[in-house]
Amino acid sequence: MGNPGDTQMKLATGEGGYVLEDVPHLTDYLPDLPSYPNPLQDNPAYSAVKQYFVNDDDTVTQKIVVHKDSPRGVHFRRAGPRQRVYFESDEVHACIVTCGGLCPGLNTVIREIVCGLCHMYGVKKILGIDGGYRGFYSKNTVTLTPKVVNDIHKRGGTVLGTSRGGHDTSKIVDSIQDRGINQVYILGGDGTQRGAAVIFEEIRRRGLKVAVAGIPKTIDNDIPVIDKSFGFDTAVEEAQRAINAAHVESLSIENGIGLVKLMGRYSGFIAMYATLASRDVDCCLIPESPFYLEGSGGLYEYIEKRLKENGHMVIVIAEGAGQDLVSESLQSMDQQDASGNKLLQDVGLWISHGIKMPINLKYIDPTYMIRAIPSIASDNVYCTLLAHSAVHGAMAGYTGFTVGPVNGRHAYIPFNRITEKQNKVVITDRMWARLLSSTNQPSFLNPKDIAEAKEEKQPATGLLDGENCKDKKSNTEEDPCMV
């Protein structure tokens, strides 16, 4: 495992508190690299587009809700094709690797990297790395062409395979160097991007002309800075089917409880959005919102009250919720997967065992079903933009970056901004308040928890109202966050 903290920040400042958190460029350590005109200017599909090329000075602001005296704040380099590129088409030897858990849309991103490289830049040599990071040094590669990847976006999973663990930086970079690879596209979550950061550092240390581009993948939406991760909408959509089933089942029996366990190891976005979308849920439990079971104001009291009132209820629980309670009760040791992620106990079933009154439990665990499916149309389009942005960035000589939308505009984001913290539901924000008002559940928080949550409050992403809304001064009729 490497230390991504090695990455040096590339900062530029401007007037009015403007800060550009820039990404590295190959010329930072290879200053004499030649550049070439972008072949896209001769491409019939693109040459008619007015202002097709992104101005090198274009940047994307992280904060879009401002006051008249706010500093301009942090910006990221805008993604997109540049006038000049640092690779000739027949010089490029690209590879693609997918790591970590599955996510709807992985195959679409793979397809669009291959087709983007080939159709936009005339690249012919593209390899797939089999089975995640360890595939660099322990497996044969797969040749990828537009024909090979033509219909893979219609399938779930990743045609390249994936894995956890197995990140051996020097073996991976040796393999990149030995095979003559000069563009590396790395699809994966927070762990994968940490791995990508150390691969980039080692490549830079060896002075290689190799661009490293990360494409953020996470079903849990736990990657910060970007608006949301691809596949998230697909997962929320699929979760509706489980919640509907839970609702129907619970309605048809006396004291029926439909309990749905959804993914979300440390972040409860899927559970929160699936609950908000469904409107049939009476209680949503996520890792970010502590709760207690027994006594006045506890979960069991609420369940009994709801059942007495309505005769049935639907509970959605993110798999990472209440893990402290389960571990305490079962006195279990912390276990980890090959990547060092905490292995979770089955919280759903455990909670249901403690309910004192007679109930009819219908427990639905669609865990893998929501992530092993192909992506929906909107995610497919999103995946295409991510893939093309990554290709444009690497061709333009940028490296050590992750691509993603920031306030709707695609940007190149330095690895350390993506890996320094996890995106979490902020329970003192309005989105969680909306959820509480939609389910009518108590917050299950005691005043101490509320004070702690306020202290831990994190900057917002597009999925949250977050920091853009935190200033009480903006809480007026015109406040766009109140819609």
Ligand X SMILES: Nc1ncnc2c1ncn2[C@@H]1O[C@H](COP(=O)(O)OP(=O)(O)O)[C@@H](O)[C@H]1O
Ligand Y SMILES: O=P(O)(O)OC[C@H]1O[C@](O)(COP(=O)(O)O)[C@@H](O)[C@@H]1O
Is 107 a binder of ligand Y (CB under 6 A)?
Answer: no
CA atoms 390, 395, 400, 406: torsion sign: negative
Contact residues toward ligand X (CB under 6 A) are: 1-2, 99-101, 132-133, 163-167, 188-192, 194-195, 198, 218, 339, 341
Is 218 a binder of ligand Y (CB under 6 A)?
Answer: yes
Is 337 a binder of ligand Y (CB under 6 A)?
Answer: yes
Is 404 a binder of ligand Y (CB under 6 A)?
Answer: no
Choose among ligand Y, Mg ion, ligand X, none what residue 220 binds, the Cβ cut-off being 5 to 8 Å by kind.
Answer: ligand Y
Report the distance separating Cα 359 and Cα 458, nearest Å.
Answer: 39
Task: Please indicate if the annotation marks 264 as binding a ligand.
Answer: yes
Task: Please indicate if the annotation marks 311 as binding a ligand.
Answer: no
Does residue 220 have an active-site annotation?
yes
Report the distance separating Cα 315 and Cα 444, nearest Å.
Answer: 14
Is 322 a binder of ligand Y (CB under 6 A)?
Answer: no
Minimum gap (Å) between residue 267 Cβ and ligand X: 12
DSSP state string for 402-447: EEEEETTEEEEEEHHHHHSS-----TTSHHHHHHHHHH-------H
Of 25 and 164, CB closest to Mg ion? 164
Would you call 55 helix, strand, or coil by DSSP? coil
Number of residues located near Mg ion, criterion CB under 5 A: 3
Minimum gap (Å) between residue 232 Cβ and ligand Y: 11
Q: Which of residues 4-23 bind ligand Y (CB under 6 A)?
A: none
Catalytic residue among 168, 220, 282, 429: 220
Task: Please indicate if the annotation marks 319 as binding a ligand.
Answer: yes
Q: Which of residues 171-210 bind Mg ion (CB under 5 A)?
A: 189-191
DSSP state string for 171-206: HHHHHHHHHT--EEEEEE-HHHHHHHHHHHHHHHHH
Is 220 a binder of ligand Y (CB under 6 A)?
Answer: yes
Choose among Mg ion, ligand Y, ligand X, none what residue 105 binds, the Cβ cut-off being 5 to 8 Å by kind.
Answer: none
Is 195 a binder of ligand Y (CB under 6 A)?
Answer: no
Among 147-155, 212-220, 328-336, 462-470, which window interacts with ligand Y (CB under 6 A)?
212-220
Minimum gap (Å) between residue 261 Cβ and ligand Y: 11
Of 247 and 261, CB closest to ligand Y? 261
Q: How far is CA 425 from the centre of its chain?
A: 13
- Cβ 261 vs Cβ 365: under 8 Å: yes
**Amino acid, res. 156:** G
Q: Is 95 exposed, middle or buried (0-12, 13-18, 19+ CB in 10 A)?
A: buried
Minimum gap (Å) between residue 189 Cβ and ligand Y: 4
Task: Please indicate if the annotation marks 367 as binding a ligand.
Answer: no
Report the distance separating Cα 291 and Cα 351, nearest Å.
Answer: 12
Choose among Mg ion, ligand X, ligand Y, none what residue 264 binds, the Cβ cut-off being 5 to 8 Å by kind.
Answer: ligand Y
Ramachandran angles phi, psi of 359, nearest 5°: -135, 160
**Amino acid, res. 372:** A
Report the distance separating Cα 258 and Cα 243, nearest Å.
Answer: 8
Exposed e or buried b per residue across 164-182, where buried means at least 16 C-beta atoms within 10 angstroms of its C-beta: bbbbbbeebbebbeeeebb
Report the residue number whose CB is nearest to Mg ion. 189
Report the distance separating Cα 455 and Cα 97, nearest Å.
Answer: 38
Report the distance separating Cα 441 and Cα 185, nearest Å.
Answer: 44
Q: Which residues are catalytic?
A: 220
Q: Which residues are annotated as a binding site for substrate?
A: 218-220, 263-265, 319, 368-371
Annotated binding site for Mg(2+): 190
| Residues near ligand Y (CB under 6 A) | 100-101, 189, 218-220, 263-265, 319, 337, 371
